[in-house]
Amino acid sequence: MTAAPGGATASTGPRRARRGPRVGFVLIAVLAGLLAAYDLSEAVTNLVLVPQDVRYQNNAFFDEVGVGSLAASPPWAALWANVLLPPVAYVVALLVARRRTLGRAALVFATGLAAVAAASLGLTAYVLSI
């Protein structure tokens, strides 16, 4: 190993230069993770509160009166898809972005968050329209 100016060896030089992009990548990944967690909390809120909605509380009355065909059930598939979407999209974005430059990694995370937001908005509109 040859000594570089300042007492550093030649093998530690590239490692120090690499630290900057890693810190930037971690910061971008953490920020995207926080935004994905916010989307996940909204989805969990919908999963808990939508089945308690007034339109589903009348099902026992409809069955008792004899018009059970009017009974509604929550759209469980859409609610669970809305819960699973943010973590899956974040993991996919993390796997795609891990070997990219800092700008491209930020773009991958932003694209993943935009896709999650669009899909969550569509699923929420579908759930509330039933």
Separation of alpha carbons 64 and 48, rounded Å: 26
State residue 6's pLDDT score. 55
Do 121 and 85 form a contact (C-beta atoms < 8 A)? no
State residue 21's pLDDT score. 67
CA distance between the termini of the chain: 70
Tokens of 16: 């120090």
Q: What is the pLDDT along the chain (130 residues), one digit of tens a residue?
A: 555 555 555 555 555 555 666 899 999 999 999 999 999 999 999 999 888 876 667 777 777 777 766 667 788 899 999 999 999 999 999 999 998 999 999 999 999 999 999 999 999 899 888 7
